[in-house]
Structure 1
Amino acid sequence: MPASFQPDIRIQREDFDVNAEIARLSEGRADIGAVVTFSGLCRDEAGALSALELEHYPGMAEAEISRIAAEAIERWPLLGLTAIHRFGKIAPGENIVLVVAASSHRQAAFEAANFLMDYLKSRAPFWKKEHRVDGSTGGWVDAKEADDQAAARWKSR
């Protein structure tokens, strides 16, 4: 049975409120039994990063994330799906990405959220540049092989 909802896909400069997004998706919904979220933050383990700059190709990024979300909706019995990805300069500790997947049961919500994040990390058209505390830039950050491997596991399912 095809889903009777459109996923909420947003690419925005401004921050988001995780709790507000969960409420937006699930409020008044007695059919939802599980809501799984993933919130990705800007990390700086070495203390040298002042910001991570994220750029995207407007239109293409939304289309690609929508395509991936539609695939998740086909694979799992979801009742709601939100994906928000920020762009611009993001300081360590700030939100970068949010995925909220809702279903009647937890397994579908977990798997769909995991699937969507694996593809966002490896295939979504975003570019990252590091800005360091000393004023230098680290150049554009390449995708990690581990992210590609994580996304590849979904092809066999």
Structure 2
Amino acid sequence: MKKIIAVCAGSFDPITKGHLDIIKRASKFSNKLIVGILNNHNKKYWFNLEERKVLVEKCLSEFDNIEVKTFDGLLVNFVLQNKANVVVRGLRAVSDYEYELQLALTNKSLSNNKIETIFLPGSRESLYLSASLVREVAFHGGKIDEFISPEIVENKGL
């Protein structure tokens, strides 16, 4: 059977319990899972790239088959550079599916059919959760510890 080297990518600003759920589930069927943290120079982040990497590593330190890396540019290039063959994407709602399907088909085409995408539905507990929602709640002084790991709460002093 072919070895599964998967990539789960995102901004992870901050990494939420929903992200962690998808990553942990993906690690169960992957020989190696690379968590790719995207650095988009056109986006203003809550945490800088190094902070996001450190926080993600802390949240996933118990997993031997997970490696955390950062990248710029196209996901397809990152996946191919890391000799991965699967992209794992989480879906919260039907509205995510259309956009994610476009990305999956584009990545497959740009990789000359070397990359497959696996969609994992979000768990019931985190289906509604997004990093932008967490940032919005925090900005307005709301309590966010139920949405994110304690490491992030401690780091931001929330």
Is the shorter-chain TM-score for this pair beyond 0.5, marking a shared fold? Answer: no
Higher-strand-fraction structure: 1
Give the TM-score band, short-chain normalised.
under 0.3
Q: TM-score, normalised by structure 1?
A: 0.24
Larger Rg: 1
